[in-house]
Amino acid sequence: MTTTRPATTESSTTESSTTESSTTGGTLDRSDPEGAIAAAAARCSNWGRWGDDDVYGTLNLIDDAKRAQAARLIRRGASFSLSLQFDMDGPQKGWRRRTNPVHTMLDTGTDAEAGIQGFPHGLGGADDVIAMPLQCSTQWDGLGHIFDHGRAWNGRRAGAVVTSLGDQVTGIETVADRIVGRGVLLDVGRVCGEAGELPDGFAITVDHLAATIEHHGLTGRVGTGDIVVVRTGQLQRARRDGWNDYAGGAAPGLSFTTADWLHDTDIAAIATDTWGFEVRPNEFDDAFQPLHQVAIPNMGLFLGEMWDLDALAADCADDAVYEFFLSAAPLPVTGAVGAPVNPIAVK
């Protein structure tokens, strides 16, 4: 993966040293990521909001009443898996030792036919194993995934949270039963792009989100406890043209200037159809995933990546209904800082 910045395409970023911010009405200084991150972290911090011992972050915003309300959104019973396939044909290219899943059979039908499995009375069976990085395909970033100057979510020392034994405090298993509620699709690719796609390097600003919300008839209806899924169309392009640099290369994504919107709306979680959630290249001259640095350790916001939103988006475009019941429980791997998920949207 490279963090160098190529020439921008049809994007809201510019080649100048400052970029207009639709969040604050001011400018984003491309040369000062440290200052911008520190300022956004201070404005958007949720440290202590749910107590000093909190391990759930923004998922505190989904309560039983929210889940019950979300269940009432089911009208037709149509369901959509929002997960990519977990196989060797995935997008990973080895960056930071991330590889595609390796699936190996331990017992097969061939073994059963040969009678070599050792079971009595003609019984046969198949069994298998998979080896993979936990963030190689559709997944959630947990609260132990990103740190800010050595601090984890809620101000804890990073070293006191994640050790060689894993995340001892905010492991992904702590939220295995919490990511269920009202899902909202924001199909920015269809509303602001061409042929349903945003170009790589396109920075999605608050203005783009607002335009999409208005187009979908959701004005005033995206907020507390919602699980927002943002479609850029990059996955659609990857299906057509091949994976190329989907895992780690240039991509459309959330602008750094959306940090305040993410905080102020009180959404519980947000996911995209891209590898890195935020726009790549990042909007600073020398930075790596600065919005992650604000959102995860400071806001306590759960981020989902590489979600397959195309079939759901097509259905939403057909019936003009962009809200649904969403169950997106991560695989509860003890101590993991991220985990695979097969999100299911039901309309």
Domain CATH number, residue 160: 3.50.30.50
Please tell me the distance from the alpha carbon of residue 305 to that of residue 297, in angstroms, as a whole number.
17
So what's the pLDDT on residue 283? 97
Query: Which CA distances in Å does 221 have to 20, 184, 189, 214?
Result: 27, 9, 20, 10
Cβ(246)–Cβ(234) below 8 Å:
yes
So what's the pLDDT on residue 5? 26
> Is 304 in the same domain as 161?
yes
Would 10 be classed as within a structural domain? no
* Spatial CB neighbours of 243, under 8 Å, sequence gap ≥ 6: 90, 91
Residue with tokens 């899902």: 183
The residue type of 3 is: T
So what's the pLDDT on residue 17? 56
Any idea what DSSP says for residue 157? B
Residues paired with residue 184 on neighbouring β-strands, in sequence order:
228, 323
Please tell me the distance from the alpha carbon of residue 193 to that of residue 218, in angstroms, as a whole number.
19
Both tokens assigned to 129: 């194993």
> Is 178 in the same domain as 211?
yes
> Is 72 in the same domain as 175?
yes
Would 7 be classed as within a structural domain? no
> Is 204 in the same domain as 148?
yes
> Is 42 in the same domain as 113?
no
Please tell me the distance from the alpha carbon of residue 40 to that of residue 261, in angstroms, as a whole number.
11
> Is 272 in the same domain as 285?
yes
> Is 211 in the same domain as 300?
yes
So what's the pLDDT on residue 70? 98
Query: What residues of the chain score a pLDDT lower than 70?
Result: 1-26
| Phi and psi at residue 120, to the nearest 5° | -80, 170
Would 98 be classed as within a structural domain? no
Per-residue burial over 109-124, b if 16 or more Cβ lie within 10 Å, else e, is eebbeeeeeeeeeeeb
Give the chain's domain count: 2
Cβ(263)–Cβ(43) below 8 Å:
yes
> Is 326 in the same domain as 290?
yes
* Spatial CB neighbours of 230, under 8 Å, sequence gap ≥ 6: 186, 188, 204, 209, 254, 270, 271, 272, 273
Would 60 be classed as within a structural domain? yes
> Is 112 in the same domain as 255?
no
Would 335 be classed as within a structural domain? yes
> Is 163 in the same domain as 270?
yes
Domain end call among 85, 112, 131: 131
SS3 39: helix
* Spatial CB neighbours of 130, under 8 Å, sequence gap ≥ 6: 86, 101, 102, 103, 104
* Spatial CB neighbours of 181, under 8 Å, sequence gap ≥ 6: 62, 66, 67, 70, 225, 226, 227, 268, 325, 326
So what's the pLDDT on residue 96? 86
Cβ(214)–Cβ(188) below 8 Å:
no
> Is 165 in the same domain as 180?
yes
Any idea what DSSP says for residue 57? G
Tally of CB atoms within 10 A around 63: 14
Would 4 be classed as within a structural domain? no
Would 173 be classed as within a structural domain? yes
Both tokens assigned to 242: 């091949």
Would 61 be classed as within a structural domain? yes
Query: Which CA distances in Å does 49 have to 53, 157, 180, 195, 213?
Result: 10, 18, 21, 42, 28
Domain extent at residue 252: 18-93+133-346
> Is 265 in the same domain as 218?
yes
Domain end call among 131, 150, 183: 131
